[in-house]
A and B are shown apart, each in its own frame.
Chain A
Amino acid sequence: MAELDKIRQFLAAEGILMSFHGPFRHSIIEELGKAVRKHLETETVRKSAMADVFSVFIEAAQNVSNYAKRKDWEEAERARVQNGILVIGRQGEAYQIRCGNFIHPRDAGPLLARLDHLATLDAAGLKALYKKQLHAEVPPEGTGAGLGLIRMARTASQPLCYAIAEGQGGLDFFSLTVTL
């Protein structure tokens, strides 16, 4: 029980409103999404702020679930990459969504390159990239449109914050922080 109180104190000190650690299945994302909305309604935040938190939550969670659905996973790997952590916190007026999941080391380089590129773009550059991707062909196997990170970068009030920690049981750990 003392440990639970430690966790509670940590969450309170970090301004964490909601956290989830577990498999990012669609049914769970739906239920968490409802919980996010209900929670924000009680915080009486502006509709647009609520929409932003919800949008980043969905994009981040569906990125993890889509990634885990790729065909080339071995079953043990798939179970690991489907497990993620998602945390919604608030520091003063600013909401922060943090999301983490395991990725294959071969995906680390391209992902960092994409995020590094997004970091160089201003609002107009992000919009142009968004529009270009909106009209791009989607690979037939894909379940995502390649727009999630761009939308998150456009929604955020600060540049996306990201890191990849190398090698935990053959997988890397990707973490992303979006500050609204």
Chain B
Amino acid sequence: MTLAKLDNLMVAATSSSPEVHGDEAAGSLSLQGESYPENSFEFFRPILTWVADFLERDGRALTVDLRLTYLNTSSIKCMMDLLDAMEDAHKAGRAVSLNWYYDQENDRALDLAEEFREDLTLPFHTLPVSPPSNFIA
């Protein structure tokens, strides 16, 4: 069975939701900005679907870059679902990796990433970013 080519995923940022860019050809997904949308489950559904569709196709690597200033708890829940899907792919031998960029002046930002990382075995890089550099909205 041949699957139709996966479209790129493009969502513009709002005050409370991140810019999303899923690039099929590059095998990359990036989220950048705030994440406390009115309904996180609705917001993340197409992202989770895009990742599932990407992983279902040929065996190419997937790199996810996260530059999120704030995640509310329902976004954290959705992020856990995303990372669980990546973890499953990783355990099945797929090349997936995660780059989590955090504001190095904000202790809480690293704590949040570390709490995700401690439950996962996939390549998970926490990378400090120096503000201002447009990182803090």
Residues of A within 8 A of B (CB): 26, 29-31, 33-34, 37, 47-48, 50-52, 54-55, 58-59, 62, 65, 127, 131, 134-135, 138, 142-145, 147-148, 150-151
B16 touches A30 (CB 8 A): yes
Q: For residue A135, which residues in chain B have a CB less than 8 angstroms away from its CB?
A: 80
B73 touches A47 (CB 8 A): no
A55 touches B74 (CB 8 A): no
A33 touches B74 (CB 8 A): no
B70 touches A51 (CB 8 A): yes
**Which residue from B72, B106, B137 sits with its C-beta under 8 Å from A58?**
B72
Q: For residue B38, which residues in chain A have a CB less than 8 angstroms away from its CB?
A: 26, 65, 143
Other contacts beyond A33-B36, A48-B106, A55-B108: 10, CB < 8 A: A50-B106, A59-B73, A62-B36, A62-B72, A131-B119, A134-B76, A138-B41, A138-B77, A143-B38, A147-B74
Q: For residue A127, which residues in chain B have a CB less than 8 angstroms away from its CB?
A: 115
Q: For residue A59, which residues in chain B have a CB less than 8 angstroms away from its CB?
A: 72-73
A143 touches B41 (CB 8 A): yes
Q: For residue B41, which residues in chain A have a CB less than 8 angstroms away from its CB?
A: 138, 142-143
A51 touches B106 (CB 8 A): yes
Looking at the assembled complex, report how far the CB atom of B75 sits from the nearest CB atom of chain A, in whole angstroms. 9
Q: For residue B16, which residues in chain A have a CB less than 8 angstroms away from its CB?
A: 26, 29-30, 33
Interface size class of B (residues with CB under 8 A): 20 to 34
What's the Cα separation between A134 and B70 when bound, in Å?
A: 17
Q: For residue A48, which residues in chain B have a CB less than 8 angstroms away from its CB?
A: 106-108
What's the Cα separation between A26 and B74 when bound, in Å?
A: 14
Q: Which residue of A lies closest to B105 (CB)?
A: A47
What's the Cα separation between A37 and B16 when bound, in Å?
A: 13
Task: Check A145/B73 contact, CB under 8 A, given A48-B106, A51-B106, A134-B80.
Answer: yes
What's the Cα separation between A30 and B77 when bound, in Å?
A: 20
Does residue B15 face the partner (Cβ distance < 8 Å to A)? yes
What's the Cα separation between A62 and B59 when bound, in Å?
A: 40
What's the Cα separation between A29 and B14 when bound, in Å?
A: 13
A58 touches B70 (CB 8 A): yes
B80 touches A30 (CB 8 A): no
Q: Which residue of A lies closest to B84 (CB)?
A: A135
B74 touches A145 (CB 8 A): yes
What's the Cα separation between A131 and B73 when bound, in Å?
A: 12
Does residue B109 face the partner (Cβ distance < 8 Å to A)? yes
Does residue B39 face the partner (Cβ distance < 8 Å to A)? yes
Q: Which residue of A lies closest to B71 (CB)?
A: A55
Looking at the assembled complex, report how far the CB atom of A38 sits from the nearest CB atom of chain B, in whole angstroms. 11
Q: For residue A148, which residues in chain B have a CB less than 8 angstroms away from its CB?
A: 73
